[in-house]
Each structure stands twice: as C-alpha cells, then as structure tokens.
Structure 1
C-alpha cells in the first residue's frame, strides 16, 4: 500500500515515544502538518493528508530511509553515527538532546585518566566507542549489550560503559558517574538520496520550513 501511494504522499519514519511527539510538534509549528496525530495508537502506519508516518524503533529509522521505504526520517546522532547510513542530513532539529559519555564507578576515574593500555567497555554503541578510544590511543575491549548497560561495572563485566545520558539520574541511582564526554547528540532530519532528487518539490519546502521555524526559535 505504501509503495502504491508513495507518489502522492511523503513517507516519514519516526521513533515511537517522546521523539515522535516532539517531531510532530515541530512539523505543526512549521506548518508542515495541519492535523493532530494520536501518538498512543497501536498502529504502525499513521496516515495524514500529506504524509504516511511509520512508527519504528529508533535504531531502525536509518534503515527505512536508506532503503527508500521512507522518504524522510528523524534519528539521533547516536543512531546515525552507529549505523552510518547513506542519507542526506540537512537539518538539526535540536530535540532529543543528550550526551554520549563514558561512565563508571567513582573509583575507576583514576584508572581512566592514568593512560591505561587496555580497558573493558560495555555499550550499545560499539562503533562510536571503538572510534573514540582509538583516537585516544587506548585499546578498548568492547562488550556489546542491548540494555541496562549500567549493570556492567557494578558486577565486574567491564570497567566502564559508553551510553547516552540526558539527566544523569540513572547513573546516579546506580552509583555511577560521568568520567568523560564523547559528544553531544541531537535528533536530525535524514532524507533518502533518491527522494531528495525525485521528490524535491515536496522535500525542499519541508527543509526550508524547518530551517525557518528553528531559526526563529533561536532568536
């Protein structure tokens, strides 16, 4: 159904949850979208006047966009840097802002800054982690986990973790501290390369309206 109607509407891949709501709010403020959408629906495809919205896992957004199932998508830097999709990234939406950090137990801080030759790091982001420590000249043994990475230093699975942090509350409640900052992460608009060219009459106005509303918000 989506492929058949795709010429008539733009398809947007969005992660479920707060980032979905924030994106829809920006689209409405920018007068890209006129309708209210029900974010609590169990539907995976939401249709509006001009769009199809595909509700997917955050890490899957680049896959849908890169493969042309979605024309547009919204993904955080953490997801983009980890998946390295072949897409255009024209707009920083400045939502979903957080930090990618190295964290660990307080007593591990001294070890981290004493130029260790090798450390163990648990993370959901092996590519980001490998690149960061390689640049620092540290050989990191990376242990890939898919949830509750904060547990790893507590039970001795690893010395440190690399994760995204917004408020730091989860770290604090588990007795961990931020030891090093890797980079800021925020949500970006990503665009399929073919759609960027073939649907430019629809895609370009979206980019322009987003730039305009975001610039206005900075003033």
Structure 2
C-alpha cells in the first residue's frame, strides 16, 4: 500500500491561507471546503489536517501528522520533540513586551516585580531568566491586550505584526523577545518511504522559494556593448548570449534578484541595452 503524508495546517487565519498558497504553488492541489477539517490531495500522496495552531506540534510529535506548518513561536512555546525541517519565510511576526503608553520605559529592569499577562509563558520565562528579572507571569489564552486596562496586569507579552492592536488598547511596544515565522515541522520517526515523500515536498518548496524575488531578464544590446552589460548582469553562473537575426546585435538573458535589478537598470540603459523585458519566475531549480 502506497504511503501518504499527513500534513497538519492551521485551520484558519493568515498563516493558514499562506500555507495553502505555498502547497498549491508546489503543484499540490486538494479541495478544502469551508469548515472541512481534512482534505486529500488528488495529485500528490498527501492528506491535510486543519487544526488549531497550538495543537500542531503535539500532533507531529505523536506521529498523528508527519509534518506540520506552524509559527515558530508555537513550536518553541510547546517545546515538543519535533524536527525543524525548514523555515518558510512567511507569516513573520515578533513576540514583544508592551506597557501602557503613559508609562516611561528605559530598560528591561522595568519589569522587576511586575505582573505580565501572556499566552506564551515559556518564552517569556526564558527571557526574564536571561535578564535576571523576577516578575509574575499570568497565563491567559486570549484578549491579552486588555489585561492592563482591567487591572489584571501591568504589562503584556504578545504576538505583534503591525502593532495596531496594541495602539488601539492604549499600549506601546518596548521589548522584542522573540522573532517568528512559519516553519515546517517533522516527526523524528518518519519511515524511509515517508522521508522520500518529505524530500520531494521540500524540493518543491525550495524551487518555489528560489523563484520568489528573482526575475528573468531579457534585453537586446549591440555586440560591442555586450561585455559591459554582462558584467552588470551576472546570472546564476553567467548570462546567456544569443545572436539576433539583425547583424551586430545580441539578446542577453539572465536571472537576477529584483532588488539587484533596480540598482543597475539605469547603468544597463547607459551601456546600450534596449527592449528590456522583466519576467516573474514561478519556480527555479537550483
């Protein structure tokens, strides 16, 4: 019987949407209608479980799921025996300490003997221990930002993306204690057959990620300007040069990072480049 990978994904929210988008970009498709908790791919041996984010590390540790996509903050907070296979580069955020806006702040010693509300007591405890600060940690599961306004705590420690939620609750961010992004977790006891499937999936993810932020550049240039343009547009090894039907002209093809391209575009034009095309790359095999 052919093995199937079980992959746990957060059932809702931005991380869930971006996880599904990544899987689809890897050429793996499935139907996951609203409120469905399980879906099966029809073109790759994989089954998807849609779970609460804080349950995913435990499911992977227990072997119920072979893989999980979750925020690194949840992986560290739950401290389960799982394998960090790959950081995925999306859903980036930070775990920060915040205090009321009208309070003055200079350094972490501010939190000495303070009451801090958080959903991440393990990560917060480690930070306080490293700073040799003794504070009282109040673990709550949600609505952390309102804790100071109702007298539950002097400060909060919570996930921050834009900071707008803190501002709307009269708080200001003062210390970042952990930076997080989506990660791919694995079970240590995966069979050889499942390891092969995991390698296939990781290969696809790498190809998708390599394509992001890179552009395929095509341009025309006089032959006597080709060397100067090639020096401005290094490819993965070197640009491709193809003679045009028009005598004395070449077509130059290269792959460059988008930021790098914008730095040299004017230099390319000054060197004689014409008809410059910039094409997005869906996947890139290195």
Whether 1:45 and 2:27 are equivalent positions in the alignment is: no
Cα displacement string for residues 145-166 of structure 1 (whole angstroms, at most 9, x for unaligned residues): 0110111111221111110011
Q: Is the 8 A contact 1:61 1:75 kept in 2?
A: yes
Match of 2:19 in 1: 23
What is the RMSD of the two structures over their aligned residues, measured on CA atoms? 1.9
Aligned residue pairs, count: 211
Q: Is the 8 A contact 1:153 1:159 kept in 2?
A: yes
Q: Structure 1: how far apart are the matches of 2:155 and 2:111?
A: 12
Q: Is the 8 A contact 2:30 2:40 kept in 1?
A: no
Q: Secondary structure at the match of 1:188?
A: strand
CA pair 57-109 structure 1, distance change in 2 beyond 3 A: farther
Whether 1:176 and 2:171 are equivalent positions in the alignment is: yes
Match of 2:121 in 1: 126
**TM-score normalised to the size of structure 2?**
0.69
The structure in which a higher percent of residues are helix is: 1
Alignment of 1:69-84 (within 5 A): 69-84=64-79
Q: Structure 2 stretches of 5 or more lacking a match?
A: 215-286
CA pair 196-158 structure 1, distance change in 2 beyond 3 A: farther
Alignment of 1:75-154 (within 5 A): 75-110=70-105, 113=108, 115=110, 117-154=112-149
Structure number with the bigger relative contact order (C-alpha 8 A, sep ≥ 6) is 1
Q: Structure 2: how far apart are the matches of 1:169 and 1:215?
A: 32
Q: Structure 1: how far apart are the matches of 2:73 and 2:55?
A: 12
Q: Secondary structure at the match of 1:161?
A: strand
Whether 1:192 and 2:187 are equivalent positions in the alignment is: yes
**TM-score normalised to the size of structure 1?**
0.89
Larger gyration radius, structure 1 or structure 2: 2
Q: Structure 2: how far apart are the matches of 1:93 and 1:178?
A: 26
CA pair 86-196 structure 1, distance change in 2 beyond 3 A: farther
Q: Structure 1: how far apart are the matches of 2:159 and 2:108?
A: 21
Per mean C-alpha deviation after superposition, the further-off stretch among 159-168 and 15-24 is: 15-24
Cα displacement string for residues 92-131 of structure 1 (whole angstroms, at most 9, x for unaligned residues): 1112111110011023343755555322110000001100
CA pair 116-12 structure 1, distance change in 2 beyond 3 A: closer
Match of 2:202 in 1: 207
Give the deviation of 1:169 after TM superposition: 1.3
Q: Structure 1: how far apart are the matches of 2:127 and 2:210?
A: 31
Q: Structure 1 stretches of 5 or more lacking a match?
A: none
Structure 1 segments, 4+ long, off by >4 Å, are 111-116
Q: Structure 1: how far apart are the matches of 2:54 and 2:109?
A: 34
Match of 1:159 in 2: 154
Give the deviation of 1:141 after TM superposition: 0.7
